[in-house]
Amino acid sequence: METLFEKIAAGQIPAEILHRDDVCFVLRDIAPQAPVHLLVVPLKPIPDLAAAGDGDGALLGHLLATVRKMGQRFVPSGEYRVVINCGAAAGQTVPHLHIHLLAGRDFSWPPG
């Protein structure tokens, strides 16, 4: 069964794609938790970070490099939070690895 992100990547569900390359795409979260809330999503369907294999290191590095580029593009202050939820108990709602970039407000610690 295809995930929401696979359907977006395939063009089956319309979305405003802010960035796309041969490894990932970036879009705004539909339920933003901050003024800037972007999702960096790999094209490869990996259910969550725990399911990433040893051979996925370059892909994971590319995702973080893309987060950095999106931070430079969308967050003039350069201050943002990066979140990867792994599993439903951690808040993951789509079973497809993705990275949240959140900015534009102060964040507390610990998150929760």
Sheet of 17-20, strand order: 17-20, 24-28, 36-42, 99-103, 81-83
For residue 111, what pLDDT band results from cuts at 50, 70 and 90?
Answer: confident
Q: Tell whether 88 is covered by a domain.
A: yes
For residue 70, what pLDDT band results from cuts at 50, 70 and 90?
Answer: very high
- Indicate the number of domains in the chain: 1
Q: Tell whether 39 is covered by a domain.
A: yes
Q: Tell whether 68 is covered by a domain.
A: yes
**Range 81-110 average pLDDT:** 96
Domain containing 64 — which CATH number? 3.30.428.10
Q: Tell whether 72 is covered by a domain.
A: yes
Q: Tell whether 109 is covered by a domain.
A: no
Catalytic residues: 98
State how far the Cα of 43 lies from the Cα of 30, in Å rounded to an integer. 19
Q: Tell whether 13 is covered by a domain.
A: yes
Model pTM score: 0.95
Q: Tell whether 58 is covered by a domain.
A: yes
Phi then psi for residue 9, to 5 deg, are -60, -35
The whole domain housing 52 covers 4-103
For residue 1, what pLDDT band results from cuts at 50, 70 and 90?
Answer: confident
Contact (CB, 8 A) for 84 and 42: no
Q: How far, in Å, are 18, 32, 33, 65, 68 from residue 61 at the CA level?
A: 19, 24, 25, 6, 11
Q: Tell whether 110 is covered by a domain.
A: no
